[in-house]
Copies of this chain bind each other. A is one copy, B any other.
Amino acid sequence: MTPAALETYLHDHIPLSRAMAVRVVSSAPGHVELSAPLGPNINVHGTAFGGSVSTLGVLAAWSALHLRLDQEAIACQLVIHRSQIDYLAPIAGDFTAIARLDEANWPAFLHMLTRRGKARLTVVAELSFAGQVAARLTGEFVTIAEPHA
């Protein structure tokens, strides 16, 4: 899936991503970078709203895992189970989220998913502003394999 195709998919299926004016900077299985402008994501202090920052992180983490599962051609449901975010610094302009799967965990995850039909994976997304990490989101996802047709 090209960055443009992923962007269209997100905008069409998750309208909040369109309201946030999310752009896909780069996308590959297991590695996605998104960006968002400050304007639609501003808060009462004139910096990025925590809900927007967290949401961009979830979108990046979800997209990285979604594209990686796509590459394995595994039909499954992918849902978020838990997430945590630490806000490290104010974001006073456009910001990005980079999520990259830890490939070291992938074989065990895949084994569990194919054997048990269900597996969990934790994905970290780093949020940056002006070249500095400004927040860190950890998402725990559950995947449930879909039965063959």
Which residues from chain A sit less than 8 Å from chain B, CB to CB?
Answer: 13-16, 19-20, 39-45, 49-52, 54-55, 58-59, 62, 77, 79-87, 90
Determine if A80 and B50 form an interchain contact, defined as CB atoms under 8 angstroms apart: yes
A48: nearest chain-B partner, CB-CB: B16
Determine if B43 and A14 form an interchain contact, defined as CB atoms under 8 angstroms apart: yes
Determine if A14 and B84 form an interchain contact, defined as CB atoms under 8 angstroms apart: no
Bound CA span A134–B50, Å = 21
Determine if B80 and A14 form an interchain contact, defined as CB atoms under 8 angstroms apart: no
Q: How far is the CB of A7 from chain B (nearest CB, A)?
A: 14
Determine if B83 and A84 form an interchain contact, defined as CB atoms under 8 angstroms apart: yes
Determine if A51 and B55 form an interchain contact, defined as CB atoms under 8 angstroms apart: yes
Which residues of chain B are within 8 angstroms of A13 by Cβ–Cβ distance? 42-44
Q: How far is the CB of A66 from chain B (nearest CB, A)?
A: 9
A44: nearest chain-B partner, CB-CB: B13
A15: nearest chain-B partner, CB-CB: B40
Determine if B58 and A40 form an interchain contact, defined as CB atoms under 8 angstroms apart: no
Whether A51 touches B42, Cβ cut-off 8 Å, given contacts A82-B86, A82-B87, is no
Bound CA span A54–B82, Å = 10
Determine if B54 and A40 form an interchain contact, defined as CB atoms under 8 angstroms apart: no
Determine if B44 and A15 form an interchain contact, defined as CB atoms under 8 angstroms apart: no
Bound CA span A94–B36, Å = 26
